[in-house]
Structure 1
């Protein structure tokens, strides 16, 4: 029986080294030219909160170059343009890139705009038209699930699609949809059978590919940490052909849950990486900054904040590695990934808050990275399932709910 090895294997290390070289060669020059807007993200946003055209162009350039280099969606199968790397390697690269902090480098690897479990169900012409271009970073998508009155209780969605001859007519409204305003197409979940007509409330939901020019973008949803990236998707008698049905009719919800499972692993990996970044920044500052004739790191309150964060990041990383390993083994990770997501994002939240505290007034300045990371840390405790959903899932897996 093969035991668990916490060493970075040779293949993964080669990928990490190549990533560092790519970031130095392709990302650093772009970031240098946008330094003030990246150091203070508010300078890189329009009046409505959305990124400026200059920032968007830089991000798109990075995605495409990363796709060409084979990094952007390396977790996807080789037959659709990915590298087919293990989940352990994907976890490691997600963590590694996040450990460099927020900025252009975070777009080297796919996020919510990239390929996912739902898009992976593409067949026939869908593969060439939608899946492969997204894997290569040449197109982007958005996942349309959340609605104004329906958050965690997704099966209660009011967006509906009715069959009309050879077409489906979609009506509804999605909210808090990342990349909605900038995507080439959206993956929209809609109820195709009323709740009253299905045996299980998760049934009767279908996923549709909806092109960007077929839906209207509503208000920009300026959630902290994701300012300008989320918006409403408005669907008013949108007609799509049968060829735009993605995956099984009336059975898309379980595939959507697989998307969220992978998303929880990815966000947890990012939380660990960002925590490592903030801890290193805090350690450096605590050793250099002096008060009352001593470095502030020599004071117990400051050193304890760092030590608690270091311990929690250590444990979160161990949980992430275990979850990724179990996924590679084909094991059920429903409980694992909820534990990991909950622990890693809450650790990140505490570490980000303490990083602000350790840096004092400097921590509050928008010209420094700490508040930006604090905002993101707060968001991560809600997206891909709230803290409460994660805890409920853990309880259900142990027959308590």
Structure 2
């Protein structure tokens, strides 16, 4: 076993941290309150080649894997600037197009993803489908050389920042099982027949949410990724990287919150000692540190398994579960450590609590992860 990181990965972490640090928590809080994209830190990381670190070198990427992309997600978040769209644009869309796209699609989309010039967001969730992918109602039917998409998607993050959206649609039914045959399409955001509506959410994060309406939205045959009906396999190739990078984002959030809490606890003095000397403060922070470190280890294991072509479903789900729990607990304890100041805008903790709370639900909620582990890891009967 080798638990150490090589010098190249350590250097990547240090450089990402150095690029992200000048933006920091104040920048993220400001953009969260304004629901304004964090374009400046995205551009800075893109200029250094880190947005597409997992994409193939022949298309302008860094030639790395999810190990490297997870490090970018974690380190930028650990400086107070978590970038949610790395999960959908670089991880899901980049991985799916790299693996299943044809040469024309790779040439069209990957260089822009690698350079950060454009983003491709992901559309799978529907009002009546949720976590049950087989119930997807959005359909794609052939019309000559084109495809027509009809249906609705919602909770689509960052559509306003994207050049295209990777859409999961039903293209038939499996005669043996009666389940949907799914296919993936790269749909430009200006496709005829595609309209959007902002989906207001209470949580304050920079990335906005949208409902998408497809009314016979027309796309060329070149929009289909890979083979028709192969979408289920393609989706799950992208979902493990999403869960891993989501876990890495959570680890970074937890590290940032703990850093803020520890600094405050060292310096805040109400009685004769700094408040960090009291076990009512120190023990919960120590517990959060342990849980964050454990989550980081599982995240690294999941990323390593994915990059080595090994089964990554179990570690990816476990990493996502552990990291979301750790991030939420760490931010909550950081708020508690700050007392009333935990709610003050200048300390920037509440937006991170909101994001951590979202990541406990999405991209896959903790209950479905527990279902997965119960069924696949423990061999218990399926209940859903």
**TM-score, structure 1 as length reference:** 0.86
Q: In terms of mean alpha carbon deviation, does 91-100 or 175-184 score higher? A: 91-100
| Structure 2: segments with no counterpart, 5+ residues | none
1:298 equivalent in alignment to 2:277: yes
1:112 equivalent in alignment to 2:112: no
Which residue matches 1:186?
Answer: 165
Q: Secondary structure at the match of 1:384?
A: coil
Q: What does residue range 1-400 of structure 1 map to in structure 2 within 5 Å? A: 4-23=1-20, 28=22, 31=23, 38-41=28-31, 43=33, 45=34, 50-51=35-36, 56=37, 59=39, 61-102=40-81, 106=83, 110-114=86-90, 115-120=93-98, 121-194=100-173, 197-200=174-177, 203-214=180-191, 215-222=194-201, 224-226=203-205, 228-397=207-376, 398-400=378-380
| CA deviation map 1:336-374 (0-9, x unaligned) | 111111111111111111111110111012332111111
Q: Secondary structure at the match of 2:150?
A: strand
Distance 1:37 1:341 in 2: 26
Q: In terms of mean alpha carbon deviation, does 154-163 or 77-86 score higher? A: 77-86
Distance 1:368 1:164 in 2: 55
Distance 2:319 2:87 in 1: 18
Across the two proteins, how many residue pairs are aligned to each other?
375
User: Is the Cα–Cα contact under 8 Å of residues 94 and 270 in structure 1 kept in the other structure?
Assistant: yes
Distance 2:17 2:152 in 1: 41
CA RMSD of aligned residues (A): 2.3
Distance 1:228 1:388, change over 3 A: same
User: Is the Cα–Cα contact under 8 Å of residues 366 and 372 in structure 1 kept in the other structure?
Assistant: no
Q: Secondary structure at the match of 1:294?
A: coil
User: Is the Cα–Cα contact under 8 Å of residues 220 and 228 in structure 1 kept in the other structure?
Assistant: no
Distance 1:312 1:126, change over 3 A: same
User: Is the Cα–Cα contact under 8 Å of residues 122 and 131 in structure 1 kept in the other structure?
Assistant: no
Q: Secondary structure at the match of 1:325?
A: helix
